[in-house]
Amino acid sequence: MIYLKLFEDFKEVDNPHGGEFNFGKLSNEDISKVKLFIEDLRKTCKENGIKLRLENKTGIPYTDNDDGMMVNGYFSGEDKELACAVGKDIDLWLTILIHESCHMDQFLENVPAWTDNIGLEQTDSWLSGEDDVDMDQIEEEIRTGIDVELDCEKRSVKKIKQWKLDSIVDVEEYIQKSNAYILFYRWMHKNRSWYKIGKEPYNIKDIVSRMPKSFNIDYSRLSPKIGRIFDTYL
Looking at residue 2, its pLDDT comes to 45
Number of alpha carbons in the 13 Å side-chain half-sphere of residue 118: 13
How much is the mean pLDDT over the chain?
A: 90
Q: Distance between CA atoms of 118 and 192, rounded to whole angstroms?
A: 19
Which of 91-95, 180-184, 196-200, 209-213 is predicted with the least confidence, judged by mean pLDDT? 196-200
24, 103: one domain: yes
42, 107: one domain: yes
Is 151 part of a structural domain of the chain? Answer: no
206, 122: one domain: no
135, 177: one domain: no
Instruction: Evaluate whether 82 touches 75 at the Cβ level (below 8 Å).
Output: yes
130, 23: one domain: yes
230, 178: one domain: yes
- Mean pLDDT of the region 205-228: 97
Residue ending a domain, choose from 146, 181, 196: 146
199, 135: one domain: no
Looking at residue 63, its pLDDT comes to 61
Model confidence at 60, in pLDDT bands (50, 70, 90)? confident
Is 204 part of a structural domain of the chain? Answer: yes
pLDDT(7) > 70: no
89, 192: one domain: no
Model confidence at 196, in pLDDT bands (50, 70, 90)? confident
Instruction: Evaluate whether 208 touches 202 at the Cβ level (below 8 Å).
Output: yes
Q: Distance between CA atoms of 5 and 108, rounded to whole angstroms?
A: 20
Query: Could you give the number of structural domains in the chain?
Result: 2
Provide the H-helix boundaries in the chain: 28-47, 90-109, 112-115, 121-127, 135-162, 171-191, 205-208, 224-233
80, 178: one domain: no
Which of 88-92, 170-174, 205-209 is predicted with the least confidence, judged by mean pLDDT? 88-92
For 59, the domain range is: 2-146
159-189, pLDDT tens digit by residue? 999 999 999 999 999 999 999 999 999 999 9
Is 129 part of a structural domain of the chain? Answer: yes
Looking at residue 64, its pLDDT comes to 56
139, 199: one domain: no
More confident residue, 68 or 141: 141
| Torsion sign across C-alpha atoms 156, 160, 162, 166 | negative
Predicted TM-score of the model (pTM): 0.90
Residue ending a domain, choose from 131, 146, 161: 146
Model confidence at 15, in pLDDT bands (50, 70, 90)? low
Secondary structure of the chain: what % helix, strand, coil (to 5)?
50, 10, 40
Is 141 part of a structural domain of the chain? Answer: yes
Phi, psi of 7 (to 5 degrees): -80, 125
Is 159 part of a structural domain of the chain? Answer: no
130, 228: one domain: no
Is 92 part of a structural domain of the chain? Answer: yes
8, 40: one domain: yes
Looking at residue 124, its pLDDT comes to 93
